[in-house]
Chains A and B, each alone.
Chain A
Amino acid sequence: MSGQYFGFIAGSYAAAILVLGAMIVGAILSYRGAKTRLARAEALRDGGKAS
């Protein structure tokens, strides 16, 4: 019975890995991108103050 439905079960878990994985990667990239952007903006502000 399990063999008969293996593709459906594997497909469900593969979909979970894809969707949840995309959410995790998206969150990490978004966090890292924002951190870099903020650091650049702060450097720009500090550079402006110094000059």
Chain B
Amino acid sequence: MTDQTSGSLLRLANPAVFNRLADRLIAPFAVLTLLLFVWGLYGAFFVSPPDYQQGETIRIMFIHVPSAWMAMFVYAGMSLSALGTLIWRHPMADVAQKCAAPLGAGFTLLCLVTGSLWGKPMWGTWWEWDARMTSVLVMFLIYIGVIALQQAIEEPNRAARAVAILTLVGAVNLPIIKFSVDWWSTLHQPASVFRMDGPTIHGSMLGPLFIMGIAFLMLYITLLMLFMRAEVMNRRAERLELLAAEAD
């Protein structure tokens, strides 16, 4: 990391700078997210042809795959924030991790539900305890565990450290999810987009899929900024309430 990059990151980690930036970015990001969803859904329903094997059920891919990408991306981001909490003890790292967890859980839940709805017509089963599905379910349970732990410990610094440790332990699951389809014989298909030899999906489907992926990413960034902005305000209000209580 260059000095300039780390300097920019440090400035962003200042709550006042973050607040100013978030206030400026939330509205344009929300509009951009909406436009990307309209564009992506148009592509998913009107540009992408039915799959030669799976027929119209391929439309489920445009929700299932981006939510799976986001489920893993959010967890990877939370792991970096956990390092920020444990190594640099920066409060904004804890804020980011705390606010990302429910969003990541939402994306994982959506991935599991849409996977089940896609699996039934294609594989003839709603659920199979194969390595990919089970490891994603484990990630969902870890997300729930992280949220529960945040709520269970009252002292903020202790809660931040405990959550950071649990998050880092859970990060072991990320490579398991990614490579589960290669390491074990699974009902779930192997990777078809991020492969060493290039995607195996036709461009007419890949384009809308990437647009939906960017729409999901933009939605996540917008909601994360909103949640983080709220958390920063809540923490400031809590300090003021404590000061007022001490003064009484």
Which residues of chain A have a CB within 8 Å of any CB of chain B?
1-2, 4-5, 8-9, 11-13, 15-16, 19-20, 22-24, 26-28, 30-31, 33-35, 37-38, 40-42, 44-45, 48
Contact = CB atoms under 8 A, between A and B. Distances in A.
Contacts of B55: 1-2, 5
B244 A45 contact: yes
A38 B230 CA distance: 10
A33 to B, nearest CB: 7
A31 B229 contact: yes
Given A4-B121, A9-B59, A12-B60, 17 more contacts: A1-B50, A2-B50, A11-B117, A12-B113, A15-B113, A19-B110, A20-B106, A23-B223, A24-B219, A31-B226, A31-B227, A34-B237, A38-B236, A41-B237, A41-B240, A44-B244, A48-B244
B83 interface: no
Q: Is the interface of B mostly helix, strand, loop or mixed?
A: helix
Contacts of B63: 12-13, 15-16
A11 B243 CA distance: 50
Contacts of A37: 233-234, 237
Interface in B57-98: 57, 59-60, 63-64, 67
Interface of B: 50, 55-57, 59-60, 63-64, 67, 102-103, 106, 109-110, 113-114, 117-118, 120-121, 219, 223, 226-227, 229-231, 233-234, 236-238, 240-241, 243-244, 247
A41 B46 CA distance: 51
A48 B243 CA distance: 10
Contacts of B231: 34
A30 B114 contact: no
Contacts, number: 101
Contacts of A26: 102
A25 to B, nearest CB: 10
Contacts of A1: 50, 55-56
B37 to A, nearest CB: 9
Contacts of A48: 244, 247
22 contacts: A2-B50, A5-B56, A8-B117, A9-B56, A9-B57, A9-B59, A11-B117, A16-B110, A19-B109, A22-B106, A23-B106, A27-B223, A30-B230, A31-B230, A34-B230, A34-B234, A37-B234, A38-B234, A38-B240, A40-B237, A42-B240, A44-B241
